[in-house]
């Protein structure tokens, strides 16, 4: 049986790296894209492309290489994201545009370019949104807006791509121990001393009493990407947040 192929953006980050590892363990060929170097450990039968997906010309170059590597994609995981943590009135136009280019426009462009490869065998698109798309906090407006837009885009794509046998779903992670989360803890919504203390305080605020692991999100992504496990799901938003959004803020 021919191995399935997945393209994962933001492959060198916390969730991305865990997702690369899981798909490889499941026997998939992995194409990874990130603006940072992956370092050691990328699957030997895969392809890693270092590029900035917020740039339109970079997306064209990425898919030129992808089309040389494979004639089909069974899954596309849009995971790359940029988070700017600052008050909205202090956010510059350039910062706003950078967030939208990385988190939303890149998905629009990537899906257009990936569509012919996904259509061949009927594939799946998994958009990594965030709980900030439905419930958010102060000083993260641009990020929240981009992730909310990604939810709307997910539904629109699910409708348009259904005739092509392409499923489109979103996953909404809550607090997950990644470099992005640790950097974001500095914006002051969680009290405490150093980053580790702030992580522990954040965990105590979550129903499950813990912060998520990248591997836990990777398994949820794989579930949505695998046509054997989630074949009747499209246009949906799967929240994986340890119960954070289940609790009233007044409690």
Whether 222 is a known active-site residue: answer: no
- Helices 93-100, 141-161: crossing angle, 10 deg rounding: 30
Longest dimension (CA), the chain: 55
How far is the CA of 140 from the CAs of 82, 107, 115, 136, 217, in angstroms? Answer: 11, 20, 31, 8, 21
How far is the CA of 243 from the CAs of 112, 131, 148, 175, in angstroms? Answer: 34, 11, 19, 10
Q: How far is C-alpha 167 from the geometric centre of its chain's CA atoms? A: 16
Catalytic position from the list 42, 143, 161, 222:
143
Q: Which residue has 């947040």 as its token pair? A: 241
CA dihedral 115, 117, 120, 123 (to 10 degrees): -70
Cβ contact 194:33 at 8 Å: no
Catalytic residues: 143
């Amino acid at each position: 049986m021919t191995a399935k192929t997945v393209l994962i953006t933001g492959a060198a980050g916390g969730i991305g790296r865990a997702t690369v590892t899981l798909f490889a363990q499941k026997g998939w060929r992995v194409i990874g894209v990130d603006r940072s170097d992956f370092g050691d450990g990328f699957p030997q039968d895969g392809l890693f492309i270092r590029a900035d997906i917020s740039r339109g010309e970079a997306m064209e170059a990425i898919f030129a290489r992808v089309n040389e590597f494979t004639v089909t994609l069974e899954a596309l995981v849009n995971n790359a994201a940029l988070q700017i943590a600052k008050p909205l009135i202090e956010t510059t136009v350039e910062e706003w545009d950078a967030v939208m280019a990385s988190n939303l426009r890149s998905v629009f462009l990537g899906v257009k370019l990936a569509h012919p490869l996904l259509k061949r065998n009927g594939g799946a698109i998994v958009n990594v949104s965030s709980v900030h798309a439905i419930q958010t906090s102060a000083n993260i407006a641009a990020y929240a807006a981009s992730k909310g837009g990604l939810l709307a885009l997910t539904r629109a794509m699910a409708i348009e791509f259904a005739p092509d046998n392409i499923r489109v779903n979103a996953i909404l992670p809550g607090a997950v121990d990644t470099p992005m989360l640790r950097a974001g803890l500095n914006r002051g919504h969680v009290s405490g001393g150093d980053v580790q203390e702030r992580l522990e305080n954040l965990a105590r605020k979550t129903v499950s009493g813990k912060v998520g692991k990248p591997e836990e999100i990777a398994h949820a992504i794989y579930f949505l990407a695998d046509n054997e496990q989630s074949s009747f799901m499209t246009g949906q938003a799967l929240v994986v947040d340890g119960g954070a959004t289940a609790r009233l803020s007044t409690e």
